């Protein structure tokens, strides 16, 4: 994204499944990817990004809502539809990059089988289900925490979630994303076998919201 796109494109799941990757509406479940914005804002691109990192400070933002197979995921399904300016503008409070909003439709949203407006309404609906633990909402000092403890905080804040519904992703020792898996209807469910925790450090660092 112009805001989070350079960083977030590194956060894709396993490679798509080529034989089944081009059929809109054919998938098993959704993965909601929540990215830690301060990690992007600490990068060279983020330091110049007024929308996400200067004009307003964010904690967790939406990277995307990805249709998934039990292993792998569909990608870049054929579509003649595009995302309207109104839809883009309506997503910027939780997805603060016009480029990312458009990219996510092309790369993932078209595979949902929904229209762009319905897809982004679904993104918002799933995002609104998740309660961010209070200590991770607007921290003004660095947070250093074990990955398992971070996951526990999310589970405590979201009793409907099970441990298998969450994956914590790091870049080195820095938090990059928390991923949450849902049924197509929006109920929490276990993630597929290729969606797993990706933190190797003993403790993960959440940079403060500036």
Q: Quote the CA–CA distance of 210 and 206 in Å, as a whole number.
A: 12
Environment class of 86 (CB within 10 Å of its CB; exposed 0-12, middle 13-18, buried 19+) = exposed
> Which residue matches tokens 């609906």?
125
Q: Quote the CA–CA distance of 166 and 206 in Å, as a whole number.
A: 17
Catalytic residue set: 63, 104, 108
The H-or-E segment that residue 5 falls in is helix 5-8
Which residues in the chain belong to E strands, given as ranges?
29-36, 60-68, 143-145, 166-171, 174-182, 204-206
Residue 205, beta-bridge partner list: 144, 174
Q: Quote the CA–CA distance of 10 and 170 in Å, as a whole number.
A: 11
The H-or-E segment that residue 47 falls in is helix 44-47
Q: Quote the CA–CA distance of 71 and 13 in Å, as a whole number.
A: 10
Length of the chain: 210
């Amino acid at each position: 994204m112009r805001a989070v796109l350079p960083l977030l494109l590194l956060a894709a799941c396993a490679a798509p499944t080529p034989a089944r990757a081009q059929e809109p509406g054919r998938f098993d479940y959704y993965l909601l990817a929540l990215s830690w914005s301060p990690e992007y804002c600490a990068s060279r691109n983020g330091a110049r990004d007024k929308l996400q990192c200067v004009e307003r400070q964010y904690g967790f933002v939406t990277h995307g809502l990805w249709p998934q197979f039990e292993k792998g995921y569909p990608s870049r399904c054929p579509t003649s539809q595009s995302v309207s300016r109104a839809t883009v503008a309506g997503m910027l409070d939780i997805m603060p990059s016009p480029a990312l909003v458009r990219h996510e439709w092309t790369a993932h949203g078209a595979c949902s089988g929904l229209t762009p407006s319905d897809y982004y309404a679904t993104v918002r609906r799933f995002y609104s289900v998740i309660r961010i633990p209070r200590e991770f909402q607007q921290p003004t000092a660095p947070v250093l925490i074990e990955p398992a403890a971070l996951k526990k905080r999310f589970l405590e804040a979201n009793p409907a979630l099970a441990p298998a519904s969450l994956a914590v992703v790091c870049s080195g020792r820095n938090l990059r994303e928390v991923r949450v898996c849902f049924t197509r209807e929006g109920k929490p469910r276990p993630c597929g076998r290729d969606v797993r925790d990706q933190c190797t450090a003993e403790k993960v660092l959440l940079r403060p919201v500036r």
